[in-house]
């Protein structure tokens, strides 16, 4: 496969377009909660025998840059955004350092030693890093509520080769290549979308009924 050489300065501009406002994160012009009619691709149901079925779409910014969006047919609000950028492994560390400086200190970090040159994993917001060994770790997104942003690098070899194959048509182990994966995950919208996809109906939202106590007449100075 012929791979277009990525311009590091351009990729850096793309990366620092990440921003967060309150409980909202943004990659390019896309943020959690964005309506699906604002996306560059058409949503559709995808059967997934490993996980739950997904209501999603995929958009190719270029041959080396892919966006994935996930939502549900009722709310039509995006709860997950993934961006995958193919680059040379030797460029990964430089990009992550620039992102750290320009985007701000993450709430959690880890050096992934499964690479020949250890590469960082970072999270912001409510996302966390769960260590699986001294060499590797997993991104843990919020479960009940909150929103998180994560950054990790995927190897184009071994167990990660499948992702590189599906996204960029890399069919053989290529340790000189890696995929930058940026993820926005909104737990509140995810939980809503999960119920919609499983049942075909919007979840019931329980309303708290406020009971007011009626005031009575003060009889101290009551006149007849």
Mean pLDDT of 47-71: 89
Which pLDDT belongs to residue 45? 93
Domain tally, the chain = 1
Give the pLDDT of residue 49: 67
Q: Is the pLDDT of residue 97 over 50?
A: yes
Angle at 120 between CA 17 and CA 39, to 5 degrees: 35
32 contacts: CB under 8 Å, gap ≥ 6:
24, 25, 78, 79, 80, 81, 147, 184, 185, 186, 189
Q: Is residue 167 part of a domain?
A: yes
Q: What is the number of other CB atoms lying within 10 angstroms of the CB of residue 19?
A: 13
Residue 20 lies in a domain: yes
How many angstroms separate the CA atoms of 96 and 81, rounded?
A: 19
pTM exceeds 0.85, yes or no: no
Task: Let me know if residue 204 belongs to a domain.
Answer: no
Distances (CA, A) of 187 to 79, 80, 190, 191, 220: 7, 9, 5, 6, 55
Residue 206 lies in a domain: no
Range of the domain at 15: 8-199
Q: Which of 9-23, 178-192, 205-219 has the lowest mean pLDDT?
A: 9-23
Q: Does residue 223 lie within any of the structural domains?
A: no
């Amino acid at each position: 496969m012929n791979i277009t050489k990525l311009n590091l300065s351009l990729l850096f501009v793309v990366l620092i377009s990440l921003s967060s406002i309150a409980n909202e994160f943004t990659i390019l012009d896309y943020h959690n909660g964005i309506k699906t009619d604002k996306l560059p691709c058409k949503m559709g149901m995808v059967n997934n025998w490993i996980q739950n079925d997904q209501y999603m779409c995929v958009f190719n910014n270029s041959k080396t840059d892919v966006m994935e969006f996930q939502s549900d047919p009722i709310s039509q609000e995006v709860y997950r955004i993934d961006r995958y950028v193919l680059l040379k492994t030797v460029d990964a560390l430089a990009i992550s350092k620039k992102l750290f400086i320009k985007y701000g200190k993450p709430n959690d970090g880890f050096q992934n030693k499964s690479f020949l040159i250890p590469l960082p994993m970072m999270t912001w917001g409510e996302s966390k890093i769960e260590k699986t060994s001294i060499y590797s770790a997993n991104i843990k997104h919020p479960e009940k509520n909150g929103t998180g942003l994560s950054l990790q690098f995927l190897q184009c070899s071994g167990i990660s080769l499948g992702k590189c194959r599906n996204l960029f048509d890399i069919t053989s182990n290529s340790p000189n290549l890696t995929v930058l994966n940026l993820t926005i995950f909104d737990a509140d919208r995810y939980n809503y979308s999960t119920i919609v996809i499983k049942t075909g109906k919007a979840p019931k939202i329980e309303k708290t009924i406020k009971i007011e106590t009626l005031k009575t007449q003060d009889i101290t100075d009551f006149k007849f």
